[in-house]
Amino acid sequence: MSIHTFLKGSEDWWRQAVVYQIYPRSFADSNSDGIGDLKGIISRVPYLKSLGIDAVWLSPFYPSALADGGYDVDDYRNVDPRIGTLKDFDKMIDALHAEGIRVFVDIVPNHSSDQHVWFQAALNAGPGSPERDRYIFRNGKGEHGAIRPSELVSHFGPTAWTRVTEPDGSLGQWYLHLFAKEQPDFNWDNPEVREDFIHTLRFWSNRGVDGFRIDVAHALVKDLSEPLFERQSYDVSVMKDDGTDKLFDRDEVHKIYRSWRKVFNEYDPPRVAVAEAWVPANRRPAYASKDGLGQAFNFDLLGTPWNAKKFRKTIDYNLVEAIKAGSSTTWVFSNHDVIRHATRFGLPAGFDWVRWYQSQGTDPKPNNILGLARAKAATMLILALPGSTYLYQGEELGLFEAPEIPSDQMQDPQWFRNPGKAGSRDGCRVPLPWAIEGKSFGFGKKGSHLPQPTWFGDLSVEAQDSNPDSTLSLYREALALRKQLQTEESLTWVDHFFNRKVVHFKRQNGWHSITNFGDMAIKLPAGDVLLSSAPVVGRWLPANATAWVQTATV
């Protein structure tokens, strides 16, 4: 093992950090096998540095049969051989740390994959064994146990229970999987499960990892008493919001995170964590508390339409909630699970995502010019807010969703487990275009594991790198300015009483962000125009644009 470089500095570095999400299999392919890898990431450290981000978050790179894009983990303390080795991982951390970029990794504690040694042991050991107790096995109902234990649906398909074949060849027990059947849920009442994750957190922390993104953080503890939970939908609105829901967000889950916090605090600086917890908003502070994970994703803007009033309300609410937890909030428009925001903002509010995917992105047809204008404006808006911002690879290129992937090449279990009835998450996971031409637009020298659309080259890094008017240049300038201007975590709203389609706030140092949600140009206030997402002519900010203006502070 190499001697790791550890980044020191303030314990609070994460509070207003810009974190760039890398989906490793789709970032950069160093050996041209069509799959992105750690050496590919190392080769692009200069690019990451040029963006001006504070940290990267890597989606899972662990050994996996890829039933769910790597969120089905075979071995939590290793690297998928197709992606690299632990040695490559160490080199990658060192290369990033040398440029002052910190590293988050993804921890998937709700479920392992069905290839994990523990699940294989559970299958082989049979009912009632300690091996089965690490997962959630139940006998079926009915005379021969052929009826599943409950009518719970899974996220990706019709049922959350799958029946196993026992070692003697007979049909036997059922196991629980909230996601794909290749993702059996752990039993978090089992002390071995708890210990193993502590081991994993120390393993990566010792290798120099600075932070963790905790997958489905609200699902670990379940009430497994009879009658077993029945549920037909995972919609947050059907979840109880007082900690007593049988399936999600139970109060007991925080005991686990308190024990993790003790581990994080063994390090200098303490390791940080952010919860992916799709819970009612009033339940978020608990995950973000100082004795818990410390920060929780706020996904509210993912569903907020292009509307000034709604944006302002969402922002206000989240700033207040984060303070309650002693944390800072997170802003995010895109990630590996949702439609890219340059496309979303070009579609009518409330469009039907499933129908849109089923029509390969033609019904309705997005207005890409409008979508990109709004996406750039929205990104500048969140970059001016207090709190941390999560960017998703490719958004700095203004990439659109790529729903035209042929159905038989889709990889998302959601898509092919519900034929004709679901959307796909593959259209935002297509390998990045680095070059204008070439077999995979510079992703590698050969192909890419998901097909790239023909228009990708025009949005490539090469096409945008030295063009001052490109989306990439806008991101770089905005991130550089943000670094200089970032100040205390609060804002003051500036009301435009005669035009409610403006979101305008200022920070203590006179840094104003003004977003025009309307259809007509608006006059900017006095001060230096630092940057704008569309050209400002004679102090007029066009529709669907954001400008940053600096005024003198008194």
- The contact set with Ca ion (CB under 5 A) reads 29, 31, 33, 35, 37
Residue 277: contacted member of ligand GLC, Ca ion, none (CB under 5 to 8 Å, by partner type): none
For Ca ion, the closer of residues 35 and 122 by Cβ is 35
Residue 489: contacted member of Ca ion, ligand GLC, none (CB under 5 to 8 Å, by partner type): none
Q: Confirm or reject binding of residue 216 to ligand GLC (CB under 6 A).
A: yes
> Residue 239 in contact with residue 279, Cβ under 8 Å?
yes
In angstroms, the CA 293 to CA 273 distance is 5
CB of 424 to ligand GLC, least distance (A): 12
> Residue 245 in contact with residue 265, Cβ under 8 Å?
no
The residue from 48, 92, 108, 193 that contacts ligand GLC (CB under 6 A) is: 108
CB of 245 to ligand GLC, least distance (A): 17
Binding residues for ligand GLC restricted to 353-412, rule: CB under 6 A: none
Helices (H), 207-326: 253-264, 284-288, 308-324
Q: How many CB atoms lie within 10 A of CB 163?
A: 17
Tell me the residue nearest to Ca ion as measured from the CB: 37
Nearest alpha-carbon partner for 83 in 20, 39, 23: 39
Residue 29: contacted member of ligand GLC, Ca ion, none (CB under 5 to 8 Å, by partner type): Ca ion
For ligand GLC, the closer of residues 276 and 396 by Cβ is 276
For Ca ion, the closer of residues 84 and 346 by Cβ is 84
Q: Confirm or reject binding of residue 215 to ligand GLC (CB under 6 A).
A: yes
Q: How many residues line the site for ligand GLC (CB under 6 A)?
A: 9
CB of 93 to Ca ion, least distance (A): 19
Angle between helices 368-383 and 471-485 (to 10 degrees): 10
Q: Confirm or reject binding of residue 337 to ligand GLC (CB under 6 A).
A: yes
Residue 222: contacted member of ligand GLC, Ca ion, none (CB under 5 to 8 Å, by partner type): none
Nearest alpha-carbon partner for 196 in 260, 104, 132, 253: 260
Give residues with Cβ within 8 angstroms of 454, minimum separation 6. none
Give residues with Cβ within 8 angstroms of 134, minimum separation 6. 118, 122, 186, 187, 190, 192, 193
Q: Which helix (H) or strand (E) holds 123?
A: helix 117-125
Residue 322: contacted member of ligand GLC, Ca ion, none (CB under 5 to 8 Å, by partner type): none
Give residues with Cβ within 8 angstroms of 525, minimum separation 6. 494, 512, 514, 549, 551
For Ca ion, the closer of residues 80 and 90 by Cβ is 80
Residue 462: contacted member of Ca ion, ligand GLC, none (CB under 5 to 8 Å, by partner type): none
Tell me the residue nearest to ligand GLC as measured from the CB: 71
Residue 465: contacted member of Ca ion, ligand GLC, none (CB under 5 to 8 Å, by partner type): none
Nearest alpha-carbon partner for 276 in 251, 306, 249, 301: 249
CB of 56 to Ca ion, least distance (A): 18
Chain center to CA of 529: 32
Give residues with Cβ within 8 angstroms of 218, minimum separation 6. 248, 249, 253, 275, 277, 278, 279, 283, 287
Residue 151: contacted member of ligand GLC, Ca ion, none (CB under 5 to 8 Å, by partner type): none
CB of 435 to Ca ion, least distance (A): 16
Phi, psi for residue 89 in degrees, rounded to 5: -60, -45
Q: Confirm or reject binding of residue 13 to ligand GLC (CB under 6 A).
A: no
Residue 33: contacted member of Ca ion, ligand GLC, none (CB under 5 to 8 Å, by partner type): Ca ion
CB of 328 to Ca ion, least distance (A): 36
Pairing of strands 330-332, 161-165: unpaired
The residue from 23, 27, 71, 299 that contacts ligand GLC (CB under 6 A) is: 71
Query: With the CA atoms of 540, 544, 545 and 551 taken in that order, what torsion angle do they form, in degrees rounded to the nearest 10?
Result: 60
Q: Confirm or reject binding of residue 179 to ligand GLC (CB under 6 A).
A: yes
Interface residues with ligand GLC (CB under 6 A) are 68, 71, 108, 179, 215-216, 276, 336-337
